[in-house]
Amino acid sequence: MKITVLFPTATEASLFAREEVTTVVSGVGLTATAYATLKAIYQHQPDMLILAGVAGVYPHAAHKIGDVVLVESEVEGDLGFQTPDGFVHLAHLPIDMDFERRHRLYCPHLPAGYPLASVHSLSANTALSPLVDTRDVAIENMEGAAFFHVCLQERQPFLSLRAISNVVQPGHDDWDLAGSVSALTSALHQLIDRLQSDHTS
């Protein structure tokens, strides 16, 4: 089974090494990720493409720093307009009432019965943005929506794995980058073991 893993940064990739798996450092942000995702699909032609990185957790979510989650859906959280009354997401404008169909991207490849929790996520180029509507999401990151969009458009099987490194709250400095990268690496190996086992069974 051909597997390629995209990491946003070299730090997130630093503990992972696996001979039969191709790794790519995509760069941070939606634009860099869109380009790297498309390039990885055409260069490596993987059976499964995985985005693996850290993420922030919103205070209302039932997860904590050090947890690792699979991402069930992504939304580009800062796609919209700044108005005199504040930020309005494109999905909430009268011209586009179908938020779920047009603006939330779902992963159809989540493995059945896998022990990790699956979450809804929000992507934005500005971390800790005060503009976004966080009510229906648990975590934030800076790459996932672009990754989901390209994979869905190209009909590329994909998964997204995130380890929680921080709380999404301005002024909250209780980051655990080293611990989250370690947890991410362990969970990534377990996920790949599962994928390879399912592929050969």
Task: Please give the pLDDT value at position 91.
Answer: 64
Tell me the pLDDT band of 95, cut-offs 50, 70 and 90.
low
Whether the CA torsion 32, 35, 38, 43 is positive or negative: it is: negative
Point out the least confidently predicted range of 95-104, 115-124, 128-137, 190-199. Answer: 95-104
Task: Please give the pLDDT value at position 94.
Answer: 61
Q: How far from 180 is each of 5, 73, 115, 123, 186, CA to CA, in Å?
A: 17, 21, 18, 19, 10
Domain positions in the chain are 3-196
Across 161-179, average pLDDT: 90
Tell me the pLDDT band of 128, cut-offs 50, 70 and 90.
confident
Across 163-185, average pLDDT: 91
CA distance 6 to 26: 6
Class of domain 3-196: alpha beta
Cβ 135 vs Cβ 53: under 8 Å:
no
